[in-house]
Amino acid sequence: MKYILTLLFAGALGLSQAQNFQGIATYKTSTSLDLKMDSSAVSGDQQAMVMKMLNQYLQKEYTLTFSKTESIYKEVEQLEQGGFPGMDILGTVMGRGGVFYKQVKDSRETRQMEFFGKEFLIKDTLEALDWKLGKESKTIGSYTCFKATAETEVVEKSISTSADDEEIEEEEEKKIVTITAWYTQQIPVNQGPDQYWGLPGLIMEVNNGSTVILCSQVVLNPKEKVTIEEPKTGEEVTRKEFKEIATKKMEQMKEMYGGGGSRGGNSGIKIQIPD
Q: Is residue 15 part of a domain?
A: no
Query: For residue 9, is it within any domain?
Result: no
- Percent pLDDT > 90 in the chain is 49
Query: Considering the domain boundaries, does residue 223 fall inside one?
Result: yes
Q: How many domains does the chain have?
A: 1
pLDDT truncated to tens, each residue of the chain (275 aa)?
444 444 444 443 344 445 578 999 999 998 876 666 656 666 777 777 777 777 777 789 999 999 999 999 999 987 665 555 555 555 555 555 589 999 999 999 999 998 888 999 999 999 999 999 999 999 999 999 999 999 998 877 666 655 555 555 667 778 899 999 999 999 999 999 999 999 999 999 999 988 999 999 999 999 888 899 999 999 999 999 998 998 888 788 777 765 544 444 444 444 444 45
pLDDT value at position 112? Answer: 95
Tell whether 16 is covered by a domain: no
pLDDT, position 180: 98
Instruction: Tell me the C-alpha to C-alpha distance, in Å, between residue 124 and each of 73, 127, 146, 240, 243.
Output: 16, 9, 29, 9, 13
Put simply, whether the predicted model's pTM sits higher than 0.85 gets the answer no
* pLDDT per residue as tens digits for the range 86-95: 555 555 555 5
* DSSP 8-class letter at 79: P
Using CA atoms, how far apart are residues 6 and 3, in angstroms rounded to an integer?
Answer: 5
Is 231 among the domain residues? yes
Helix (H, G, I), strand (E, B) or coil at 249: helix
- What HEC string does 22-73 produce? EEEEEEEEEECCCCECCCCCCCHHHHHHHHHHHHHHHCEEEEEEEECCEEEE
Structural domain containing residue 83: 22-274
